[in-house]
Structure 1
Amino acid sequence: MRTFLPRSARLLPVLTMLGCATAQPSAPSQPAEPSAQAAAPASESTPMPKPTKKLDTAALKAELVAKHGEAQRARIERGVEQVAAQWREEDGDLAAFVREYFIADPKALDDTFARLERIFEQLDGHFNELGRELRWATDLDLGPLLPVDPLLAAYDPSAHVTDDLFQSKIGFVVLLNFPLTTLAERTAHAQDYTRRQWAEARLAGRFYRRVPAEVQQEVSRAGAAADLYIAEYNVWMHHVVDGKGRRLFPKGLRLISHWNLRDELKANYANKAEGLDKQRLIVKVMERIVTQTIPAIVIDNPRVDWDPFTNTVSVAPADTVEPNAPNRPAKVDTAPEPDTRYARLQAHFHAAEKVDPYVPVAPTQIARTFEFQREIPEERVKALLTQVLTSPLVPQAARLIEQRLGRKLEPQDLWFNGFRPGSSRSETELDKMTRQRYPTAEAFAKDIPRILQGLGFTKERAAYLAEHIRVDPSRGAGHAMQAMRRGDFPHLRTRVEKEGMNYKGYNIAVHELGHNVEQVFSLYDVDHTLLQGVPNNAFTEALAFVFQARDQELLGLGKPDAAAERERVLNDFWATWEIAGVALVDIAVWHWMYEHPDATPAQLRDATVAIAKETWDRYYAPVLGGPGTALLGIYSHMIAYPMYLPDYPLGHLIAFQIEEHMKKKGPLGAEFERMARYGAVTPDQWMVNATGAPISAEPLLRATEAALKR
């Protein structure tokens, strides 16, 4: 799952506010700014601004130094250059503006900082609320969509904000008086910065680029269309038949891709009778989706039967059709989905491409994602992922899994969940427990205080948190949507079927609750609202993983003992290995799109499939077999949430470090709160404050080696 980024922060990294949310019109879930979005090359309808004539700023700087004193020289020189870099001819007289708005008096500077911090909290927060209302029908399971709902979801009321802030000169006041720092500067001085300096860096950081509102609106449209496409991508599993014509799945089972398909696959490790056959069937469904050989007629359609092995379609017998099934056409039609999956991804790219000319310091979406949003260089991220993928511990863990399964490993074992304590319980048993306890989203909301106390929060803090979280039924798999001003509340969205919340929905809900708790602390209890959030999406995912790992314990199924703790370590290692390759595919696909900007959706499909296969063959086929499978391309994040996937393996590494730290400390609740309220500083600085060490794969690898020896 992921935390949901406000549309304004979805593609262009943001520097000042929490910008992540979860699972689906998620993360998806960190330092973000309200209208920072990626867009693509300027079109005829979005003309490039007239270049500013090279101004002789030296005389202007000398004039200001003479007026305000030598002590202000560094601030003057930096501020004037920051303004000049964004100033356009139509903005007027730069020298007159600088003379009027440079603030030399320390008290006046403090007052201006405080005023801007308060105003931006309100501005960001209210636009976030407007965006949430516009997406209400498409995000939540409230019945059939009206024709106007996708249009409302695509409208971004904050699209003009950054543009307006520059035109009104507010953005220039910020750039003139507060430092716009580079990632290198923030990293080098992380331990020296005061909290005020961190807040100033985030304040100025929101104005590192000046993107026209028309471009931002296009980004919003691409994001909304992709969100809705994924939210409605369901497969009715009772109507997916195997090569013998058997219906292996119960009537009414509707699984969203990829989340529910993956979770159903995991659940069937406990099914000794038909589990392996079900898993192989799900893998074939996934491969058909990635390669776009899935017949379009079978998507979210319970009126046709489909054999994914032969790719044949037939009209479903009347007695197999679910009561009140959606009114979909029922006919024999094997025409494949027309590369819609890749058209949605390509729309993200073309929107991101349009912003490139406006951000010379990071002229690609790839650069913006790593340098500004994630604040970890791409090469370091890939090195961490590769360290896990190539670890000699992988074949050792694989041999242990083979012993437990009593067979050679297959591609579906990418999602092996047998290390998890309690995984021997059947999905049916777990579904029964969660449906009885949570027949509605409201029932889960009422149980939040008990859940939080079970996680180690005091009764008072649990009540405080519960009062600040709202729970809604999700149309998609689930996500957490943060609040961005004090007085508003984070929303937990989770999927609740008609029979009640199944275990998959509950597991997601506990994860999203972790996001929401972080969001409450990092907004309401942080010292500067300009620092609300955490460094990037990986951190909010890590904190959510801490909650999610305890979901069965919260159902009353027992606390882990020493043996269970070893199982947790192995589970974390295998899960990190699994998602690390998926993340590399996500990154590589974006590089391919920049190298082939004029490609068709079909060409992008072929390239994505090729990248997924090559990555599989390099890292996974030696362990799991299945050479040439495109399975790594199934993750829906690739389509709806560009380059979000690397945050998951990073999140696993960070979560493991946090868990190891918490073992040495007191109750989880107090430590979780201490970490979450530290705010959006650089990743390593946050980790040093939280655990005493920067981000590393070593703690997980050391613990895995020890667990395997036992």
Structure 2
Amino acid sequence: MLALACDRGPAAGPPPAKSEPAAPPPPVAAAPEATPAAPESPPMTPPDLTALTSELLRQHGEGQRARIERGLSQVAALWRPEDGDLAAFVREHFISEPVALAATFARLESVFEQIDGHTHEVGREVRRATDVDTGPLLAVDPLLATYDPFAHVTEDLFQAKVGFVVLLNFPLTTLAERSEHGPKYSRQQWAEVRLGSRFGRRVPAEVRQAVTRATADADLYISQYNIWMHHLVDETGARPFPSGLRLISHWNLRDELKGRYADPDGLKKQQMIVKVMERIVTQTIPAAVIDNPHVDWDPFTNAVSAAPASEVEADAPPRAVVLDGAREDDVRYRKLLANFHAARHEDKYVPIAPTAIARSFELGRELPEARVRALLEQVLTSPLVARTAALMKQRLGRELGPQDLWYAGFRGNAAHAEAELDERTKARYPTAEAFARDMPRLLQGLGFAPAKAKFLAEHILVDPSRGAGHALQSLRRGDFPHLRTRVGAGGMDYKGYNIAVHELGHNVEQVFSLYSVDHTLLAGVPNNAFTEALAFVFQARDLELLGVGKPDPASERERVLADFWATFEIAGVALVDVAAWHWMYDHPEATPAELREAVVKIAQDVWDRYYAPVLGSPGTPLLGIYSHMISYPLYLSDYPLGHLIAFQIEEHIQKSGKLGPEFERMASLGALTPDLWMTQATGAPVAAEPLLRATEAALEGAGAPPP
């Protein structure tokens, strides 16, 4: 899932590229909750820099005034008493001579690539056991996963005065400056901007480590959150799902629901999955049924009973059989609160973005929250939602329900039973290694020349994932990104294949955006939504690569409608995610139970406003099911943005007819601001209108009922 560090520097280690995170080891002791960091000396009161400015002007000339004034201001803002003599430092380290300044830039760019790259590799290795299916977890593995090797890097560089050399000599820009002047920057200027942004804040290592502990603990909790579907029973005791089907929440539950549209008994199974999801959000799910194949559960009545020995899977891990039906005691919301409290410790150290919400949008996405919300609401309130829902109702021949939030009828796989697709993928990919061997063919099928496909395949490593799957970037040339995909004992099922193709899109972007950029300081893409968008481009072609679908005008209409409905679905989820964080900031002393009640109410309100008019079921908390809310704080807005961006990219690729070369060109643009990247990639800034226009045309072509 994520391809870059949102903060554009080493203060926080980059998470895996994220459509699906790492997951399910057996239960182990959780890491401790995040704790407040030890107090540190605050920055100095900014000294009077007038005399020092005059001194530097006499030494370096009036032509350096703007650089001197800006550099002194940037350094003084973060200088602490223990850092020593500020005046002596700036006298020695202000650089006015162009050749020396260029050499310093080149040296820092080269060194930071190595620091970031090798530190990232350390982080990858300490998390390997929890991310990769290497066998049973040891008790020490979750503790290793909480270690953040990036936590001290920025502060160490400040203490070594390297950070201050950067701030003294290179610009630290605001988002407003980058948005206004960025189109006129040269590539060198953009690289200098990204160099300066590495040191825009000085967060104590203890604070960063606390954040890492909280997110790692939440990630471990989510990675173990599996439901054994064969042990869901209805009122008659029947088992609608096959033996051995173990699904992680929410990813596999959602995909199982989507895969049941071709099943004659699919509606009943979908409604059961919806009830499971609602129980998870409201925390009325019995604790005993989580990742436990030894008990049966009726999610409608919430009754729990011991599973007959004949129904327990032969390879099922041992678990105690607890039949008291006690609910999961707000664990989900304790993890969310732990992330919030850890993030709050960082707030005072980032005055330009003093909340996690502001940092997520202003520093991470480089898109203001208000603009993102407006884009999402433009989709949610579009009259095209009702028209699309009417077409779905027409095709299904029934009233719509909450399960149709994940309607899969606009995709080619809706015509193929899940079992048929599973049979194909399991035969082709019995192991993760088999997928790795097939990557050159897949990439050529996506339009890359044979030599380029070979190069890409040689630069991507494939690991068997504990979880649903994720893509993990590399941060230095010479290291390779990792594709993590989940492969069951019988081979890779279609869900795993679909995710793996998505992750392959991330990995290809990661190779190009590191190896093909002209400055490694520009490595990556503008934000996580862009790497998601590029991954969606690959994922949309998974059936074609599997040999069961080919594009034509009708399938293109279906693709547009699928993109629109997927954007509609995830836009509300993103609003719930952000609203939950606003609520926590408004209620910082809230208990897990109070947070649960608030999130349920927020999810219900968003559903009733945007979804109940077309899907019914007013009051469902279904929009609160996404696991990202717990393990990847404030990430979910990247998905609807990613869909909008992906559509613009797809539209451009369709016109050019050259997926491979255009994908490479776009991914090599680097970490520019979102609108500038999109303008250079497709000719227009980020917008919802292209998707809405195409959706209206697709509805007309598909014979949708009139408005």
Aligned to 1:572: 563
Correspondence 1:438 to 2:412: no
- Distance in 1, matches of 2:148 and 2:35, equals 19
Aligned to 2:42: 50
Aligned to 2:534: 543
Aligned to 1:513: 504
Correspondence 1:210 to 2:202: yes
- Distance in 1, matches of 2:495 and 2:601, equals 31
Secondary structure of residue in 1 paired with 2:480: coil
- Distance in 1, matches of 2:136 and 2:606, equals 39
- Distance in 1, matches of 2:177 and 2:220, equals 39
Correspondence 1:197 to 2:189: yes
Among candidates 517, 523, 531, match of residue 526 of structure 1: 517
Q: Is the 8 A contact 2:444 2:453 kept in 1?
A: yes
CA distance 1:41–1:594, change in 2 (3 Å): farther
Aligned to 1:657: 648
Count the aligned residue pairs.
Answer: 692
Report deviation, 1:246: 1.2
Q: Is the 8 A contact 1:18 1:534 kept in 2?
A: no
Could you report, residue by residue, the CA deviation over 1:140-191 in whole angstroms, capped at 9, with x for unpaired residues?
1222211000011111122111111111100000000000000000000121
Among candidates 63, 68, 88, match of residue 96 of structure 1: 88
CA distance 1:654–1:20, change in 2 (3 Å): farther
Could you report, residue by residue, the CA deviation over 1:270-306 in whole angstroms, capped at 9, with x for unpaired residues?
102x100000000000000000111111100000001
Q: Is the 8 A contact 1:26 1:481 kept in 2?
A: no
**What does 1:304-319 align with in structure 2 at a 5 Å threshold?**
304-319=295-310
Query: What is the letter of the counterpart of residue 99 of structure 1?
Result: R
- Distance in 1, matches of 2:73 and 2:350, equals 16
Query: What is the letter of the counterpart of residue 72 of structure 1?
Result: Q
Aligned to 1:139: 131
Secondary structure of residue in 2 paired with 1:190: helix
- Distance in 2, matches of 1:11 and 1:683, equals 14
- Distance in 1, matches of 2:125 and 2:639, equals 28
Query: What is the letter of the counterpart of residue 401 of structure 2?
Result: E
Could you report, residue by residue, the CA deviation over 1:86-118 in whole angstroms, capped at 9, with x for unpaired residues?
001111110000000000110000000000000
Correspondence 1:629 to 2:620: yes
Aligned to 2:381: 390
Q: Is the 8 A contact 1:240 1:247 kept in 2?
A: yes
**What does 1:683-694 align with in structure 2 at a 5 Å threshold?**
683-694=674-685
Secondary structure of residue in 2 paired with 1:270: coil
Aligned to 1:30: none
Aligned to 1:450: 441
Q: Is the 8 A contact 2:285 2:327 kept in 1?
A: yes
Secondary structure of residue in 2 paired with 1:678: coil
Correspondence 1:239 to 2:231: yes
Could you report, residue by residue, the CA deviation over 1:233-275 in whole angstroms, capped at 9, with x for unpaired residues?
1000000112222100000000000000000000000102x10
Q: Is the 8 A contact 1:16 1:205 kept in 2?
A: no
Q: Give the TM-score of the pair, scaled to structure 2.
A: 0.96
Q: Is the 8 A contact 1:26 1:480 kept in 2?
A: no
Aligned to 2:344: 353
Correspondence 1:419 to 2:410: yes
Report deviation, 1:652: 0.3
Q: Is the 8 A contact 2:584 2:595 kept in 1?
A: yes
CA distance 1:636–1:11, change in 2 (3 Å): farther
Report deviation, 1:46: 1.4
Q: Is the 8 A contact 2:22 2:130 kept in 1?
A: no
Q: Is the 8 A contact 1:17 1:530 kept in 2?
A: no
Among candidates 372, 397, 416, match of residue 381 of structure 1: 372
Query: What is the letter of the counterpart of residue 241 of structure 2?
Result: F
Correspondence 1:21 to 2:17: yes
CA distance 1:295–1:260, change in 2 (3 Å): same
Secondary structure of residue in 1 paired with 2:179: helix
**What does 1:71-82 align with in structure 2 at a 5 Å threshold?**
71-82=63-74
Among candidates 257, 260, 271, match of residue 265 of structure 1: 257
- Distance in 2, matches of 1:119 and 1:353, equals 32
Report deviation, 1:15: 9.8
Secondary structure of residue in 2 paired with 1:249: coil
Correspondence 1:489 to 2:480: yes
- Distance in 2, matches of 1:16 and 1:262, equals 30
**Stretch moving more, 100-109 or 156-165:** 156-165
Among candidates 529, 539, 547, match of residue 556 of structure 1: 547
Report deviation, 1:18: 7.2
Could you report, residue by residue, the CA deviation over 1:517-539 in whole angstroms, capped at 9, with x for unpaired residues?
00000001110000000000000
Among candidates 271, 274, 283, match of residue 280 of structure 1: 271
Among candidates 157, 160, 172, match of residue 165 of structure 1: 157
Report deviation, 1:641: 0.4
Q: Is the 8 A contact 2:35 2:210 kept in 1?
A: no
CA distance 1:19–1:376, change in 2 (3 Å): farther
Report deviation, 1:399: 0.5
- Distance in 1, matches of 2:592 and 2:653, equals 47
- Distance in 1, matches of 2:216 and 2:523, equals 25
Secondary structure of residue in 1 paired with 2:698: helix
Query: What is the letter of the counterpart of residue 467 of structure 1?
Result: E
Secondary structure of residue in 2 paired with 1:189: helix
Could you report, residue by residue, the CA deviation over 1:560-610 in whole angstroms, capped at 9, with x for unpaired residues?
110010000101000000000000000100100101111011111110000
Q: Is the 8 A contact 1:583 1:645 kept in 2?
A: yes
Could you report, residue by residue, the CA deviation over 1:328-368 in whole angstroms, capped at 9, with x for unpaired residues?
11231211111111111111111100001111111100011
- Distance in 1, matches of 2:71 and 2:6, equals 28
Aligned to 1:3: 2
Secondary structure of residue in 1 paired with 2:315: coil
Query: What is the letter of the counterpart of residue 651 of structure 1?
Result: G
- Distance in 2, matches of 1:706 and 1:258, equals 33
Aligned to 1:672: 663
Report deviation, 1:66: 1.1
Correspondence 1:113 to 2:105: yes
- Distance in 2, matches of 1:590 and 1:155, equals 25
Secondary structure of residue in 1 paired with 2:182: coil
- Distance in 2, matches of 1:50 and 1:23, equals 39
Secondary structure of residue in 1 paired with 2:415: coil
- Distance in 2, matches of 1:42 and 1:360, equals 21
Query: What is the letter of the counterpart of residue 367 of structure 1?
Result: A
Aligned to 2:30: none
Report deviation, 1:12: 9.2
- Distance in 2, matches of 1:365 and 1:465, equals 36
CA distance 1:432–1:42, change in 2 (3 Å): closer
- Distance in 2, matches of 1:150 and 1:413, equals 37
Could you report, residue by residue, the CA deviation over 1:409-463 in whole angstroms, capped at 9, with x for unpaired residues?
0000000010112421000000000000000000000000000000000000000
Q: Give the TM-score of the pair, scaled to structure 1.
A: 0.96
- Distance in 1, matches of 2:385 and 2:489, equals 41
- Distance in 2, matches of 1:13 and 1:72, equals 27
Q: Is the 8 A contact 1:16 1:530 kept in 2?
A: no
Gapped regions of structure 2 (runs ≥ 5): 24-32, 702-707
CA distance 1:144–1:11, change in 2 (3 Å): farther
